[in-house]
Each structure stands twice: as C-alpha cells, then as structure tokens.
C-alpha cells in the first residue's frame, strides 16, 4: 500500500478543489443546528433578584460604614448563598407558589452567585416558563429574607432589585448554534477530503510514479479515444 505525504501547497489545492462541497456541507450543518435549536430545544428564560447584606445597626448611629463591617458581610454572603439552597427554604417556596416540583427539580433551577469583593449576591432562576421564573426568584428571596431572621437571629438582608418577567429566552442561542454548526460542518468536510486524498492509492499521473517509486518515466501512451 502506498503512503502519501502532503505539504501545505497540496493541502490548499485539495481545499480549493473541494471548496464548493465544503461550503455546501457547512451550510447543511448550519441549517440542521438552526432547526434543532428553533424547533426541538425548549427555550429557557432567566430571571434574578439582587440582594445585599448590610450591618444590623441602630439608625441613630451615624458613624458610617466600617471596613470590618464590610468584610464580615462579605463573608456572610458565602453562608447565605448556601442557606438559600437548603431544603427548608425550597419547600416553603414550593408550598407558597403551589408548584408541582420536587426539591431536586427546584434546586436545579436555582443558582446563587456572589459579586466578587462586594456584599451583593443574586438569586437566579432558569425556567421554560418566564412568569414562573420571576415568581420563584421573588418568592425565594422573600422567604430567605424572612427565614434568615430566625436562622441567624439577624435582620441584615435587603432586596435591591426584584425579579421581572424576562421577555426573551437566554437559551438556546439560535444564531450562535447555527454558526457553530457551519464551522463544524466545514471542519468535518475538510477533514474527510484530506483523508480521502491520503487513502487514495491509485496512480493518476507520471508524477505519481516518480514520487512514489523514484523511477523515471521513459514514455507515455496517450489516451486517445477513436
């Protein structure tokens, strides 16, 4: 079996020779990804609530914010993000909203993210129903704010921004998926074209004989059709 070596010039020639086919396959992959994203994948919506941890203090005290207070509150954010995801909080929210969800389903919809080096964190909810996403986010933050008074014996959480009903889905990104499909199709088509060339052991020209066997060509019989 003949072994072939390929250089960049040959690689470029292979690509040019199969360019139309490569682009066509890329378009087919793009159309497939567009159709899958548009018609087969359920859109998901995201809604979130912003909260802040503040020091519980006497309102008549005008000493201002102290560095130690900020550092303490930042550390509390990590604790609070874990408390929000507990079963106790989830079950109250599920009951209050009358949701037909298990704890596992509920917790998979929620994520809590703290803002680096701040006292602010977000409760984010992802759902296929936009109204339910905002309802869960708002109710979770409310239940957490009320519960933290009993759990930690402090009232130091304030809601900055309530969740609103999202107008557009955050997933899937149809255009991005179509572009990825196009690029993937081009890569697959280029790869198969190169592999087909490398595995083709047929002798097609006198140059192939010289390159493969190192033998000089002393004559050529023309292919003349009568």
Mean predicted confidence (pLDDT) in 184-190:
95
Strands of the sheet containing 157-161, edge to edge, are 110-114, 120-127, 45-53, 157-161
pLDDT digits (tens, 9 = 90+) for 114-146: 887 788 999 999 999 999 999 999 999 999 999
Residue with tokens 């033998």: 215
pLDDT digits (tens, 9 = 90+) for 160-179: 999 999 999 999 999 999 99
| Six-digit token string for 28 | 């087919």
Strands 45-53 and 110-114, bridge-based pairing? unpaired
Confidence label for 58 from pLDDT (cuts 50, 70 and 90): very low
Lowest mean pLDDT segment, chosen from 54-63, 105-114, 136-145? 54-63
pLDDT at 1: 43
Per cent of the chain over pLDDT 90 is 60
pLDDT at 141: 96
8 Å CB contact between 172 and 84:
no
> How far out from the chain centre does Cα 104 lie?
21
pLDDT digits (tens, 9 = 90+) for 24-41: 999 999 999 999 999 999
Residue 63 has pLDDT above 60, yes or no: no
| Six-digit token string for 152 | 């930690």
Confidence label for 48 from pLDDT (cuts 50, 70 and 90): very high
pTM: 0.72
Residue 67 has pLDDT above 70, yes or no: no
């Amino acid at each position: 079996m003949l072994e072939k070596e390929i250089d960049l010039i040959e690689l470029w020639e292979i690509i040019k020779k199969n360019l139309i086919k490569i682009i066509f396959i890329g378009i087919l992959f793009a159309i497939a990804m567009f159709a899958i994203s548009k018609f087969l994948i359920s859109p998901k919506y995201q809604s979130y609530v912003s909260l802040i941890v503040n020091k519980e203090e006497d309102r008549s005290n005008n000493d201002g914010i102290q560095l130690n207070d900020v550092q303490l509150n930042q550390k509390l954010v990590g604790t609070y993000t874990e408390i929000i995801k507990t079963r106790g909080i989830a079950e109250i929210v599920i009951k209050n909203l009358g949701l037909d969800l298990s704890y596992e389903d509920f917790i998979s919809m929620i994520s809590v993210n703290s803002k680096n080096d701040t006292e602010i964190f977000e409760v984010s909810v992802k759902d296929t129903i936009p109204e339910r996403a905002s309802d869960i986010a708002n109710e979770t933050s409310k239940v957490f704010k009320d519960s933290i008074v009993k759990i930690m014996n402090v009232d130091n959480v304030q809601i900055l921004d309530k969740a609103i009903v999202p107008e557009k889905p955050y997933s899937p990104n149809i255009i991005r998926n179509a572009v990825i499909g196009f690029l993937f199709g081009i890569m697959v088509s280029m790869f198969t074209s190169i592999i087909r060339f490398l595995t083709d052991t047929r002798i097609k020209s006198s140059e192939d004989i010289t390159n493969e066997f190192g033998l000089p060509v002393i004559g050529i019989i023309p292919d003349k059709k009568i």
